[in-house]
A = this chain, B = another copy of it.
Amino acid sequence: MNAVDTKLAELGITLPTPAAPVANYVPYVITGNLLVISGQLCFGLDGKLSDSHKGKLGAEIFNEAGLEAARLCAINVLAQAKAALGGDLSRIARCVRLGGFINAVPHFSALPAIMNGASDLMVEVLGDKGRHARSTIGVAELPADAAVEVEAMFEIS
């Protein structure tokens, strides 16, 4: 059990079985020392998209649920990273970038506050290695009407 696993346990976070893609793409690709993770939706630990994490920020769902959805996306990103790294999250040298896509109505501009759910999780689990560059945008729609999608790039050793 490495330091990242210990931190996950302390935080009470169980990484879910990562979702398998249902098409001709894969959840992650490693190129050189970069690990690129496909956009992850806010599936719960049971692998299902809860009704409380579906729909648009500013319409069907609001701040607290959105924050939770973003956090779930980040947990799913870590689950994919763990699978990519043969189970060893201590091989993450740095979270380089998160891309945050928020399913939002056109007048919902408090997007960064939602995306903080993902950013905070990354730093809680990885410490300073979790501090990342980030772009947050509000989108017209997301797959399965998920509230949030997060993609990631890591530097690995």
Taking Cβ atoms with an 8 Å cutoff, the residues of A that contact B are: 21-29, 31-34, 36-39, 56, 94-99, 101-102, 104-109, 111-112, 116, 119-120, 122-123, 130-145, 149, 151, 153, 155
Contact = CB atoms under 8 A, between A and B. Distances in A.
A116 B108 CA distance: 26
How many monomers of this chain does the complex have? 3
Nearest to A26: B131
A140 B105 contact: yes
A107 B21 CA distance: 23
A143 B26 contact: no
A139 B106 CA distance: 9
Contact of A120 (B24, B28, B138, B153): B24
Contacts of A130: 24
Contacts of A143: 109, 111-112, 136
Contacts of A101: 135, 137
